[in-house]
Chains A and B, each alone.
Chain A
């Protein structure tokens, strides 16, 4: 146990203060970075993909130094990484752990699936109400049509 933990540490080093987003599906890591606007982050950022995980097989992890997210900001990633866990780090120690939750409203990040929706024709910020959290369904504020998990794409 001690041994595997140490080996993991070698792969992705520890941060002093900040947020660790763990248990991200490997293929969603870059999407999570985009959703959280971390692609141009100016402080230390550590990214791991295809790491071994007993729970998930392969997983991704992101460690963001000196950044603590607001919950409505971080909950956006639940759409692509519902399994993600957040670990808040203070002085190299775990200060809090929590799961992400699917928010009741989603803005900007999701595209409406309806090609005839005004948001796909003109430069309009998308807005959705989450009408079903278990079997993910978003109702477009504009065209009122439902974008479901299988038709969902990200901006």
Chain B
């Protein structure tokens, strides 16, 4: 993995994913290891995303690295009309690795081709967000003890959620059974369903959440946005059907855990937060360990 950019979840093999998860486990046990003291990490946020940026900066700082960069394009030469190509070429002279988020799809792949140093994609438009996928895998393995043969339900907007698409692709390596719960307008795209079928795995589609809850090990919730509906009336009709309440978890399996990429709006009620099955805040914390693992592995300071 040394010097390898991570743009798309499929850039790393299944074995490399596992290696990152194992390393992340080490960092969870010992989060402060000053193994990157001689390194500079650049975080270039061409669109703001406080959560993701802080998670990366926390990961880098805990390893002793120096962090440079910008948190929004307004405070950089980007606003003066500098091309992405030139910004990346310049910054790759100052840093050992670049973490970037950009509103255009394909920007991270392009950056990885013009950069002298490896690039980690922290989100390129609606396309990829591979570190989110790795922290989701880490959270699943951590709560279930394995990634193999699990029943995983995805709830909500399965059409536009890049998080759901790339986690689904990654889980296809582990003999997962998929349970897809969404309004008819927001079903998982056929390209992703094709991928499940090609791997000889099964998926079931539902419009109701209740019958799925007792069957699954992981309940992955997502936010449904009003703007995604052509007809606002349609949104009004379905919006309450995809809200998880504590009372709905009575028949759930004891090992069930609830994940959510955050931020949530109203799709999980606050009374769920105290249920031991709620895992979404820990999931976010796991992101720091996974990002530590990625920085260390790509910079080649761990085997």
Contact = CB atoms under 8 A, between A and B. Distances in A.
Interface in A110-125: 112, 114, 116-119, 121-124
B105 A117 contact: yes
Given A143-B125, A144-B8, A146-B191, A122 B110 contact: yes
A105 interface: no
A144 B110 contact: no
Nearest to B125: A116
Nearest to B10: A144
Interface residues of B, number: 18
Given A143-B127, A144-B127, A146-B191, A122 B83 contact: yes
B105 A114 contact: yes
A143 B105 CA distance: 5
A142 B106 contact: yes
B110 A124 contact: yes
A116 B110 contact: no
Interface residues of A, number: 17
A141 interface: yes
B106 A117 contact: yes
A140 interface: yes
A145 interface: yes
A140 B106 contact: yes
Contacts of A121: 104
Contacts of B126: 116
Interface in A47-65: none
B40 to A, nearest CB: 25
A141 B106 CA distance: 8
B83 A144 contact: no
B109 A141 contact: yes
A118 B8 contact: no
Contact of B110 (A114, A118, A145, A146): A118
Nearest to B128: A144
A114 to B, nearest CB: 6
Nearest to B114: A124
B92 interface: no
Contacts of A142: 105-107, 109-110
A13 B128 CA distance: 54
A112 B109 CA distance: 15
A119 B191 contact: no
A143 B108 CA distance: 9
B85 interface: yes
Interface string A121-132: 111100000000
A123 B110 CA distance: 11
A117 B102 CA distance: 11
A143 B191 contact: no
A140 B104 CA distance: 13
Interface string B124-153: 111110000000000000000000000000
A112 B105 CA distance: 11
Given A143-B125, A144-B8, A144-B127, A118 B191 contact: no
B186 interface: no
A123 B85 CA distance: 9
Given A143-B125, A143-B127, A118 B105 contact: yes
A141 B7 CA distance: 11
Nearest to B107: A118
Contacts of A116: 103-105, 125-126
Contacts of A140: 106
A144 B110 CA distance: 12
Contact of A144 (B102, B104, B105): B105
Contact of A117 (B85, B104, B128, B191): B104
B84 interface: yes
A122 B125 contact: no
Interface in B46-99: 83-85
Contacts of B125: 116, 143
Contacts of B107: 118, 142
- In the A-B complex, the 4 residue pairs with the smallest Cβ-Cβ separation, listed nearest first, are A142-B106, A143-B105, A143-B106, A118-B106
Given A118-B106, A118-B107, 4 more contacts: A116-B104, A122-B84, A123-B83, A146-B191
9 contacts: A118-B110, A118-B124, A122-B110, A140-B106, A142-B105, A143-B106, A143-B127, A144-B105, A144-B128
